Amino acid sequence: MAAGDGIGVRLQVVVEIDKAEAHGAVVAGLSWLLRRKLKLDYVDMYLIHMPLRFSPLAKGSPVPREHILPFDIKSVWEGMEECQNLGLTKAIGVCNFSRKKLGELLLNAKIPPAVNHVEMNPLWQQKELREFCKENGIHVTAYSPLGANGTAWGNNRIFEGDVLKNIAKAKGKTTVQVSLRWVYEQGVSLLVKSYNKERMKQNLQIFDWSLTEKEASEISRLPQCMGLTFAPLFGAHDVTKWVR
Ligand SMILES: NC(=O)c1ccc[n+]([C@@H]2O[C@H](COP(=O)([O-])OP(=O)(O)OC[C@H]3O[C@@H](n4cnc5c(N)ncnc54)[C@H](OP(=O)(O)O)[C@@H]3O)[C@@H](O)[C@H]2O)c1
């Protein structure tokens, strides 16, 4: 989805790698996926899902500690670059990379990541990370802009706070729309998920109005707390610390 003067919708094929191994496996993995599964010549975007490496034996959740292995950023990124150079993908990027991890990646990168997909919403605004990405020409995409309520990894905090509720009431919008509009106004793209047709429509109705300076300022002062801890997905390992 791209929103400018109007709203454009374009089908893009974006693939994320999860069990990121070293260079060769990154290239072979995408080649295999394109040929055998997707039946395509290339994807639009190839992303590292997170700076973590799992053993091929890791199945399901939680992941036993011994199946979480050291992640070699330099080697994996070389593989990503080769995928782009070979024309297997139009662009390459990352997800869940902190400033520190991006810094490590950029030290050796010949092609910088086009994008960093991270959790971002009014309660986890990622100001410093966004600043770092801007300085380094990396586009930010916000996932879980509603806090991923109703999922194994999310919570309902976006729906509960008075600040967003009161702004929504005053504007005749929903709390969800206020949250999505705030994310959009930060100049990032956003991924919001719904299986419900009415909610999908509601989620798209954020482009013909704006937050006032006062409302934006109230939201910018909300207490911050990271929502996605990874524990519901991988188990109670200190994964959050490893990916930071
Ligand atoms: N790259 C990564 O590491 C990463 C990590 C997490 C998520 N993502 C991706 O980011 C996308 C969005 O993130 P997310 O699913 O975690 O969180 P999200 O979009 O913040 O929240 C999704 C939840 O919100 C509900 N919802 C959506 N619109 C609503 C509305 N108008 N009113 C009330 N509830 C509403 C959905 O339920 P209904 O379906 O019932 O409407 C669903 O339970 C997904 O495609 C996901 O795969 C990527």
Mean pLDDT per 10-residue run, the chain (244 residues)?
40 60 79 92 92 81 82 92 96 95 97 97 98 98 94 87 97 98 98 96 97 98 88 71 69
Give the pLDDT of residue 239: 67
* Nearest ligand 1 atom to alpha carbon 96: 3
**Could you tell me the residue range of the domain that residue 167 belongs to?**
142-224
Q: Is the CB of 19 under 6 A from ligand 1?
A: no
- What 3-state DSSP class applies to 150? coil
Please report whether residue 41 resides in a domain. Answer: yes
CATH number at residue 3: 3.20.20.100
Please report whether residue 234 resides in a domain. Answer: no
Pair (81, 179) in one structural domain: no
pTM of the complete model: 0.91
Please report whether residue 124 resides in a domain. Answer: no
Give the pLDDT of residue 167: 98
Cα(56) to ligand 1 centroid in Å equals 28
Give the pLDDT of residue 64: 84
Pair (14, 97) in one structural domain: yes
Using CA atoms, how far apart are residues 33 and 27, in angstroms rounded to an integer?
A: 10
> In a mutational test of the pocket of ligand 1, which residue from 45, 120, 191 has the highest number of ligand atoms less than 8 Å from its CB?
191
Cα(140) to ligand 1 centroid in Å equals 17
Q: Which amino acid is at 87?
A: G
Helical segments of 86-212, H only: 99-108, 127-135, 157-160, 162-171, 175-185, 197-204
Cα(97) to ligand 1 centroid in Å equals 20
Give the pLDDT of residue 150: 84
Pair (37, 108) in one structural domain: yes
Q: What spatial distance separates the first Cα and last Cα of the chain, rounded to whole Å?
A: 29
Give the pLDDT of residue 11: 54
Give the pLDDT of residue 18: 60
Q: Which residue in the block uniquely carries the two structure tokens 């971002």? A: 120
* Edge-first strand listing for the sheet containing 43-48: 14-17, 43-48, 89-95, 115-119, 139-143, 189-190
Q: Is the CB of 194 under 6 A from ligand 1?
A: yes
Give the pLDDT of residue 182: 98
Give the pLDDT of residue 240: 65
Please report whether residue 240 resides in a domain. Answer: no
Give the pLDDT of residue 14: 66
Please report whether residue 237 resides in a domain. Answer: no
Question: Residue 82 is inside which H or E element, if any?
Answer: helix 73-85
CA-to-CA dists, residue 238 to 20, 50, 70, 90, 95, angstroms: 19, 14, 14, 34, 18
- The number of domains in the chain is 2
Q: Is the CB of 146 under 6 A from ligand 1?
A: yes
Q: Is the CB of 93 under 6 A from ligand 1?
A: no
Pair (14, 62) in one structural domain: yes
Cα(195) to ligand 1 centroid in Å equals 9
